[in-house]
Amino acid sequence: MLKRIHHVGVVVSDLEAGLRFWQHTLGLAFTKSAMIAEQGVRAALLKVGESEIELLEPINPDGGVAKFLARRGGGLHHICFETDDVARELEAAKAMGIQLIDQHPRDGLAGLICFLHPKATRGVLVEYAQPIEE
């Protein structure tokens, strides 16, 4: 079951500049950051209420986030829903015939994640995340 909007992903060309705006100008609290090489990004999470904003800076010019930035510029990239069982949600999506980007859950900044293809979700890139307690 989808529980809440976990975060909204925003592509930025410069993570530090993005943090200055979202953290210092808007006052959002920094949660964590990481380099996620397999996704070709540096990412940071900022808390806002019960949800977060995830900033994504491409580090690999061939990655999906870099291609997004080149085509569209920075801005809204995806919406992520929290679940307590990302594998179950992914299997349910497969059973409904929803086109997927990920066939299996994988590690991400928000925990165990997977993506549904925007062609199947009315043009919105949808992520499911199962946060991992640290």
pLDDT tens digits for the chain (134 residues)? 999 999 999 999 999 999 999 999 999 999 999 999 999 999 999 999 999 999 999 999 999 999 999 999 999 999 999 999 999 999 999 999 999 999 999 999 999 999 999 999 999 999 999 998 76
> Looking at residue 60, what DSSP letter applies?
-
* Beta-sheet strand order (sheet of 41-48): 29-36, 41-48, 51-58, 2-11, 75-83, 126-130, 111-116, 106-108
Which residues pair with residue 53 across a beta bridge?
8, 46
**Which option is the CATH number for 2-130: 3.40.50.10860, 3.40.50.2300, 3.10.180.10, 3.30.470.20?**
3.10.180.10
Domain limits of the chain? 2-130
Structural tokens at position 12: 């930025």
Do 99 and 119 contact (CB within 8 A), yes or no?
yes
pLDDT at 102: 96
Rounded to whole angstroms, the Cα distance separating 34 from 44 reads: 7
pLDDT at 120: 96
